Chains A and B, each alone.
Chain A
């Protein structure tokens, strides 16, 4: 190797090392949204006293919580809404009461699902996905068009609990987000 090509290689080495000093942190910096683990822990909330819920009519409740958006912390933000349907009437004891909860986030593309009173079914206004009162997708034949949703409404863990102090029976829901577009319900990671 002559002097000239040795110098060339030293030049290339200096340039490469310098570039790497910038490039390595640059890649980590740019990809930080991937590196940072976003937690999707279930948010447990008591939403309503059991006695306040009408039988068979879905009721909508907001889920409040802290939301972190990059550098801003929002306290008490609406993180999502849930639909609660009380199945059993007041003759059933609270311990036996049947209550179901669904997230209002549509499993198709994430719009907010509404209760369509006129037709007694759930309707997502964005792409007209329709679900019956049990959260199951309506059949294409009944709709006259293809129901865009890949699966039924996402059910949330839901139970009836008694408040230790007031002895009131409350409906408690575990709110979570799920992946869109899949045929099965999978927690968002």
Chain B
């Protein structure tokens, strides 16, 4: 049945005649494992083409959509696996290409009349690397952005045409939408077309000249048909290589760093197959860098291209020596440089910290993208509007000159000289309790470093609170609970509700108004122009804290008694005069209050509770 169908198709199409060179191919010296690198490369390329076409159905190249669409692919059924296959198969191709090159070089398969096979193959080497290099940054991630910047600058360092080539590639002076459409065009259109052409010529030549002969030491080997005796070797090698690729794709998947944002500090590294050039570059400084990044690879490629000529000119022994030296010297140099680079990064605390930071940003971006979706302005706003991410950065920049933000173990952001209260656990019960402890309030954790160390509050705590009877101690505890509840901290929500049920909050407010007469100095609930101490209405709430950072010298807070804390955003009319914009104010306040999104059911590392 099937045979009849195929026969009738063949009568019309004639596909058997077309396929005959492949089906009837005979290897005069029999099959070899060494030949398998070629076919394995081809099959791996087929994997790349199929997975690449699949990814194209979703991927969208622009700065606002690249990361978002890749993240979306990761969430789709089969998406992470397909992207993982694409990612790891590309690295397998680089490894297999190197093996293929070494095999051909050592066996002398480039000799006349096979030069065209050698030359087309060597043209495919930079094409393949360019193929991988244009693919990696398409994800629009932080690492992608850095890689484009660095690779653009490497191109620009080439004398004469470099800067022009960079501008054309990036689509302008800076990385933008056009950079991604250009890279995408190169990756999915131009390079595949060129590679396809050279590959076709490469294979046509192999069929014309037959399989390369190996030195047989005079022994005559038996010839054998390619199918299935060579095919079984090819497919066995491919099965192992593809098995590793598929396992890696299944287990690890392709990485996706946080969305690109030039605001974040990171230490970019190239892909592993470029680490040797990256290391070499370190030995050529300034204007000579192009020697490592451009001249050395070009010279290496030219030496390889000239190999048939060298082989013809030199006596056979010398030629063999040159070939072995090229292969093992080259591998040793690449391996050594790569090893040195890895070694250096492994021992660099700065690099390890940056890598750790990069991973936690990537996780955070993923959590936010899944929970809130990606806004139309793009994934960059995910982390830019996230208090958990921005809080520490802004605090370090604007607050940490005086304030620390360190927990009991001293971990966190420490001020150079702590001259203002430690804000870790701001407005929590534990933090507030410190204000009513005669020892703590005088320490640098609270008022110790400020003018208020000699102020009325410290005096009040010293005089009135050091020797309380049991009832008053309870009243003070209630006062702290009530004041802390006014902050409405998300991390304390459950215990605040419990306290309200038990009537502790009501009792605490009564203690504030009557037992301890806080309102002699502080405002509470009404606008008392005489009060010189901060307003306790909604103490520690988002609005209160934003107001406090905005202008501590406002009559609502310290007024004229304000010590050294600057007013970060006092001008409500001409906001551009302010040191901090409203968005940053809110981010700092939310971070100090532990008010940010955390997925349910996961361990939270919020500072409160």
A interface residue numbers (CB < 8 A to B): 4, 7-8, 10-11, 14-15, 17-18, 21-22, 24-30, 32, 35, 68, 70-75
Contacts and interface: CB of A to CB of B under 8 A. Distances in A.
- Looking at A15, A25, A35, which has the most chain B CB atoms within 10 Å of its CB? A25
Contacts of A32: 76-79
Contacts of B229: 4, 7
A8 B23 CA distance: 12
A153 to B, nearest CB: 32
Interface string B63-87: 0010011011000111101100100
A25 B79 CA distance: 8
B164 interface: no
Interface in B362-378: 372-376
Contact of A72 (B79, B239, B242, B373): B373
24 contacts: A4-B228, A7-B228, A7-B229, A7-B231, A7-B232, A10-B228, A10-B232, A14-B238, A18-B238, A25-B81, A26-B50, A26-B54, A29-B54, A29-B78, A29-B82, A30-B54, A30-B57, A70-B58, A71-B68, A72-B68, A72-B374, A72-B375, A73-B372, A73-B375
The 9 closest A-B pairs by CB, nearest first: A73-B373, A25-B78, A71-B72, A71-B68, A29-B78, A7-B228, A28-B78, A28-B77, A14-B235
B95 to A, nearest CB: 18
B236 A71 contact: no
B47 interface: yes
Nearest to B239: A14
B376 A74 contact: yes
B232 A35 contact: no
Nearest to B80: A25
Contacts of A7: 228-229, 231-232
Contact of B77 (A22, A35, A71, A72): A35
Nearest to B373: A73
Given A22-B82, A22-B85, A71-B71, 10 more contacts: A7-B228, A7-B232, A10-B235, A11-B228, A22-B47, A22-B51, A29-B54, A32-B77, A68-B373, A73-B374
Nearest to A24: B78
A29 B236 contact: no
B246 interface: yes
Interface residues of B, number: 35
Contacts of B68: 71-72
Nearest to B83: A29
Contacts of A28: 77-78
A74 B374 CA distance: 8
Contact of B375 (A29, A30, A75): A75
B227 interface: yes
Contacts of B85: 22
Contacts of A21: 242, 246
A147 B118 CA distance: 72
A71 B68 CA distance: 6
Contacts of B58: 70
Nearest to B246: A21
A29 B77 contact: yes
B375 A71 contact: no
B75 to A, nearest CB: 9
Nearest to A4: B228
Contacts of A27: 78
Contacts of A22: 47, 50-51, 82, 85
A30 B232 CA distance: 32
Contacts of A10: 228, 232, 235
Nearest to B57: A30
A15 B239 CA distance: 8
A22 B245 CA distance: 12
Nearest to A22: B50
B145 to A, nearest CB: 18
B375 A8 contact: no
Given A18-B238, A22-B85, A71 B69 contact: yes
Contacts of B246: 21
Contacts of B65: 71-72
A11 B85 CA distance: 22
Contacts of A70: 58, 69, 72
A32 B80 CA distance: 13
Contact of B228 (A8, A35, A68): A8
A12 to B, nearest CB: 9
Contacts of B374: 71-73
B227 A8 contact: yes
Contacts of B375: 72-73, 75
A84 to B, nearest CB: 29
Contacts of B47: 22
Interface in B8-27: none
B76 A26 contact: no
Contacts of B242: 18, 21
A111 to B, nearest CB: 25
A28 to B, nearest CB: 4
B81 A11 contact: no
Nearest to B78: A25
B86 to A, nearest CB: 10
A24 B50 CA distance: 12
Contacts of A29: 54, 57, 76-79, 82
Contacts of A8: 227-228
A74 B68 CA distance: 14
B262 to A, nearest CB: 22
B248 to A, nearest CB: 13
A75 B57 CA distance: 26
Contacts of B77: 25, 28-29, 32, 35
Interface in B76-115: 76-79, 81-82, 85
A17 to B, nearest CB: 8
Nearest to B229: A7
A71 B67 CA distance: 10
B228 A25 contact: no
A97 B206 CA distance: 86
A58 to B, nearest CB: 32
A15 B235 contact: yes
A11 B235 contact: yes
- Looking at A15, A22, A75, which has the most chain B CB atoms within 10 Å of its CB? A22
A21 B239 CA distance: 11
Contacts of A14: 235-236, 238-239
Nearest to B70: A71
Contacts of A26: 50-51, 54, 78, 82
Given A22-B51, A28-B77, A29-B76, A72 B228 contact: no
Interface string B219-257: 000000001110110011011001000100000000000
Nearest to B89: A22
- Looking at B71, B72, B228, which has the most chain A CB atoms within 10 Å of its CB? B228
Contacts of A15: 235
B77 to A, nearest CB: 4
A7 B236 CA distance: 11
Contacts of B238: 14, 18
- Looking at A26, A29, A68, A74, which has the most chain B CB atoms within 10 Å of its CB? A29
A7 B232 CA distance: 6
B38 to A, nearest CB: 16
